[in-house]
Structure 1
Amino acid sequence: MERSADWPRKTVGNNDFTESDAVIIGAGFSGMCIAIKLIEKGIRHFIIIEKSDGFGGTWKDNKYPGACCDILSHLYCYSFEQNPNWSRLYPGQEEILNYQKAVASKYGLYQHVRFSTTANEAHWDNETKKWKVSVKVSGGKEAEFGKAYILTTDFLISGVGQLNEPYSPDLPGSTDFQGKTMHSARWDWSYNFRGKRVAIIGNGATAIQIVPEVAKCASHLTVFQRTPNWLMPRMDQNVSELKKSMLRNVPFLLRRMRADIMDGRESYFQAIIQRHSAESAELTKMCEGYMKTQLADRPDLWSKLTPNYPPGCKRLLLSDDYYQALRLPNVKLETRRIRRLTRDGIHVSVHGRGEAEDYLDVDLIVYATGFRTKEFLYPMKVYGLQNRSTDDIWKSGARALYGVSVESLPNFAMAYGPNTNLGHNSIILMIEAQARFMVTLIEVVIKARQQGQTLSITPKAARIQNWNKKLQKELVTSSFADPRCTSWYKTEDGLITNNWSGTVIEYQKLLSNIDWSDFELEGTAAKRLAGRKIEIGRVVEETSISFRTLAFIILSGLAVASGIVLKYNPRTNFF
């Protein structure tokens, strides 16, 4: 298709329905951020592909009872679109989703998105230096126009993240169970669980939010725990109208509040990441004390709820009401192994009695068992140079240069990719750094196309290998690597494929420039980039001055100003 001179600034229309500068897969926080950064660069000829029927990603999928965020609300939003109107310190799912919808509307993202559309495969065409993306339309009426088609694009971006494909264990007899089953990420709100006998399989971050809510109205609730988790109080509370008014009308206060939250979370790094640190020991002591205080009358649960690994090895959980829910007479913590499901319930092993079993009658089974986190991009298939697939590239574990660029995949980038998850701070801070980095790559490719040239950018395999080797060396001493626990952070072989080894600020600085020597550059525009660097910069949000110093400066300034006013005010007697 012949393009006019202003095509990068025009949205994709009917005539170029299958052609675009960039295709973004996923309309959650990552995909939205990348799209907004493209628009800020004047690039509008892109498409967002989203398998569901709306924006939100994780926060559209996870709408189970009690769903909320583990990061303070004023840090869990974009730096460029801060929200002074959060109703709680820790926002609930619906409030976060409404925030995302409002942002999508404000920045005009609805004109770029194709909902109910799934990307099945993507193939790199080295001759044209373009991606061919096969998509399937699942929406009823939309599918009548065409159930499947192929998109051609200069740049392919994954915004699907790590928490998008639910995982359910393959338990013996699962097909025999005749009651209701649902995964926490596919909650069926048409089902009324009031008065029902409920089993929740899992006791991680999702389960501890669901349990207190289900316990309020289920006739009986059994919580199946495989291994215990460290838990600390959330200390959630409403945000007063006065505080919201101040944050709306004094922008400095909102920025300062966010900066202080970020500082606090960054200082939390040592306790979560460094398993042998004094901070980790102190956190362990605090969590254990909290558990025993909350369950002072239930010492029979203490040993069951106390992990033998340091905080951070598995995700550290936050809750104000989980332990209280376990004290209720209709709730039971079950640590015995599930042997099989039957038509009406669950068989569990009896400790110390060989093959003996107990039987539990159950109406509803909730799988709070997480996601297929280590299979990045699943179930989409991506084929790069020499038709090499991501299955082959990642056969020894997923890895990417800075968590963004993947070996053998030209003009491809991913947000929230391998080794970019956090245990101590807001993932949105990471996503924004990644978006700025990859949009710079996209812009270079598109400018080359504007000038009638071609360009493909592929990270060097040796650079990725060296980068990953250094990264894994840092991670092997971390809490994530502790052999006493299994988690979604690492493979069965112990390779940590999901988590970042440092602080957010360290990662932001890492992505604050592009060194073209990291990449293989091909095409007619390649020569002009060789040996160069591009400075991107970063969004600096952490404080550079303490509150005490700030208060002293403000008070000193007010004192000086008052003195000047008094000295030169003719109505006073002070000269």
Structure 2
Amino acid sequence: MKTTHQVIIIGAGFGGLGMAIRLKEQGQDNLLIIEKADDVGGCWRDNTYPGAACDVPSHLYSFSFERHYPWSRRFAPQQEILAYQQHCARKYDLYRHIRFNTEVAEARYQDDSNIWEVTLTNGETLSCQALITATGQLNQPAYPPLSGIGDFKGPQFHSARWNHDVDLTGKTVAVVGTGASAIQFVPEVAKQAGKVMLFQRSAAHVIAKPDRAYTRFEHWLLKRLPMTQTLDRLRIYASNESRVLGFTSFQQAMKFYEWLFQRHLNKQIADPALREKLTPDYPMGCKRILMSNDYYPALSQSNVDVINEGIRSVDESGLTDSAGVHHDADAIIYGTGFQATDFLTPMKITGRHGQDLNQAWNEGAEAYLGISVHGFPNLFMLYGPNTNLGHNSIIYMLESQIHYIRQCLAAMEDDSVRALEVRANIQSHFNEEVQRKIRDTVWDKGCHSWYKTESGKNTNNWPGFTFDYRRLTRQVNWSDYELVR
């Protein structure tokens, strides 16, 4: 059975919701959102681990058209961000457009009809003129390829698939990884567990998080004078935007953040040996800079042991580290991040003349503006290659992309454009320039991070100001595309 839609959006996180809201404002009602889970929310639905919260202030980590929301804190916790997304879906009447518990197996472009044929995992086939992917960069958990990982007899799970049925009280818990999720859940696990063994391959730069609850007066002021929230949003944006200089053209500015990190570490870790373990051996900013007020105090507790070794293997009773020492464990938690460079997996995307997208990306994902790929007409990506940020709110980037894609879809509807495909030379020139700029950033200064493929190509980050990206996406340059009318 085929169902025809003007637009199909894959994913109901911030990108998919924002795209659908803006298309409905444009009068587009013939749209479908396909969501593999049972509710909206994306990574904020999936990551329910204890302590989960955002590291971008809540006044900026929200849609510009739905900014006046009664956030409880400066940095919103996971449950509140999910509630905000559910609020947006209800307010803008999106639930009737969403098919939950539905997953895309394959999407194939039909050259003769200029439509996308979308096959679901249940075998059902849908079709649409425009296909928009809003699957994000952090949706597929990355499990470490450890020998014997299936032999462990106790409970083991990834932080993005937290098993709330497992009682960690009094248990010996092994935590693998020290990234953005781990620094949030380790302090909470340490409150319950008898012992926590934190396996750290490389230390993270952690600075203080300027978080607090909003006062009753602030809530009253924000409600009575919404302009105060708008002004605070602008203040946060400007402050965060200036940080990009430290990553890119003025890396001397990173010395200030190095000083903040060192002060935070010295203040919270008294033991010189532990301080040394927690001092990274790579330039600050090369990997994601983290914020926490309770991570270092948790590591100072007598029931927490930081093990500065990789893991060689797992067996039924625990883990053996790279030095050959075996550590017994009752439970293992993997805080090992996501397959961030494997865009759109595990879906198979086939474009014009049967071209496979994974094959087109065999040297690392790339797209024009992170949105369009040559050989794949009428396919648009939200949060695509090289649109991630190290310094500001990704929702600002998403709204830039949404505005750009809206123009493309309006042309397809109003100007009878059947197909729209970015030119190969335009895409190549754009990505050559992006990679040239990345070579001059701190991200390319000798560390391995989730921003890069195994070969070392940075496929994730935007190497510049977000307002530059907004300028580039403000108006579609139609000469960048081949149009079929």
TM-score scaled by length of structure 1: 0.83
Match of 2:443 in 1: 480
Find 2:168's aligned residue among 171, 193, 205: 193
* Aligned amino acid, residue 50 of structure 1: E
Q: 2:484 aligns with which of 522, 541, 549?
A: 522
Structure 1: which amino acid aligns with 2:271? Answer: R
* Of 454, 458, 463, the match for 1:496: 458
Larger RCO (CA within 8 A; separation ≥ 6): 2
Aligned match for 2:469, one of 483, 503, 507: 507
Secondary structure, aligned partner of 1:307: coil
Q: 2:58–2:73: 8 Å Cα contact kept in structure 1?
A: yes
Match of 1:314 in 2: 287
Partner of 1:144: none
Q: How many residues align?
A: 485
Q: Is the 8 A contact 1:154 1:446 kept in 2?
A: no
Corresponding residue for residue 369 of structure 1: 336
Matched, 1:326 2:299: yes
Deviations along 1:134-164, one digit per CA (max 9) or x if unpaired, are: 013xxxxxxxxxx431111010000001011
1:172 aligns with 2:147: yes
Q: Does 1:396 align with 2:370?
A: no
Which protein has the larger Cα radius of gyration, Structure 1 or Structure 2? 1
TM-score (norm 2): 0.98
Within-5 A mapping of 1:94-243: 94-136=79-121, 147-243=122-218
Contact 1:21/1:155 (8 A) holds in 2: yes
What is residue 341 of structure 1 aligned with on the other side? 314
What amino acid is aligned across from residue 27 of structure 2 in structure 1? Answer: G
SS at match of 2:150: coil
**Alignment check: 8 A CA contact 2:417 2:483 kept:** no
Q: Is the 8 A contact 1:201 1:369 kept in 2?
A: yes
* Structure 2 Cα separation of the partners of residues 31 and 289 of structure 1: 40
- Per the alignment, residue 61 of structure 1 pairs with 46
Distance 2:327 2:85 in 1: 41
Equivalent residues in 2 for 1:419-498 (5 A)? 419-448=386-415, 453=416, 455-483=418-446, 485-498=447-460
Unaligned stretches of 5+ residues in structure 2 = none
Q: Is the CA contact (8 Å cut-off) linking 1:69 and 1:91 kept in structure 2? A: yes
The yes-or-no answer on 1:254 pairing with 2:239 is no
State the shift of 1:289 in Å: 1.9
Residues 211-255 of structure 1, C-alpha deviations (whole Å, 9 max, x = no match): 000000100001110011111101211111210111111021111
- The reply on whether 1:75 has 2:60 as its aligned counterpart is yes
Q: Distance in 2 between matches of 1:311 and 1:455?
A: 48
- 1:373 and 1:282 map into 2 onto residues whose CA distance is 29
- One-letter code of the match for 2:261? C
Letter of the structure 2 residue corresponding to residue 324 of structure 1: P
Indicate conservation of the 8 Å contact 2:251/2:442, yes or no. no
Question: Does structure 2 conserve the Cα–Cα contact (< 8 Å) formed by 1:63 and 1:187?
Answer: yes
Q: Structure 1 unaligned runs (5+)?
A: 1-15, 137-146, 351-356, 524-575
1:27 and 2:12 aligned: yes
- Paired with 1:494 and 1:479, the residues of 2 have a C-alpha distance of 14
Q: Which amino acid aligns with 2:7?
A: A
Task: Tell me how far 1:272 sits from its aligned partner.
Answer: 3.3
Name the % identity: 40
Structure 2 CA distance for aligned equivalents of residues 238 and 340 of structure 1:
43
Instruction: Give me the whole-angstrom Cα distance separating, in 2, the residues matched to 1:443 and 1:408.
Output: 21
SS across alignment from 1:279: helix
Query: Aligned partners of 2:60, 2:422: CA distance in 1, in Å?
Result: 32
Q: C-alpha deviations, 1:96-125, integer Å up to 9, x for none?
A: 000100110000000100000001100101
Instruction: Quote the offset at 1:358 in angstroms.
Output: 2.1
Label 1:243 to 1:277 Cα distance change in 2 as closer, same or farther (>3 A). Answer: same
**Is 1:393–1:407's contact at 8 Å kept on the other side of the alignment?**
no
The secondary structure found in structure 2 opposite 1:211 is helix
> CA separation in 2, counterparts of 1:55 and 1:188?
20
Check conservation: 1:129, 1:454, Cα contact below 8 A.
no
- Verify the 8 A CA contact 2:2 2:125 in the aligned structure 1: no
RMSD of aligned residue pairs (Cα, Å):
1.2
Spell out structure 1 runs of 4+ moving beyond 4 A.
none
Whether the aligned pair in 1 keeps the contact of 2:2 and 2:127 (CA below 8 Å) is: no
Distance (Å, rounded) in 1 between the aligned partners of 2:254 and 2:320: 38
Residue 10 of structure 1 corresponds to none
How many angstroms apart in 2 are the aligned matches of 1:293 and 1:112? Answer: 51
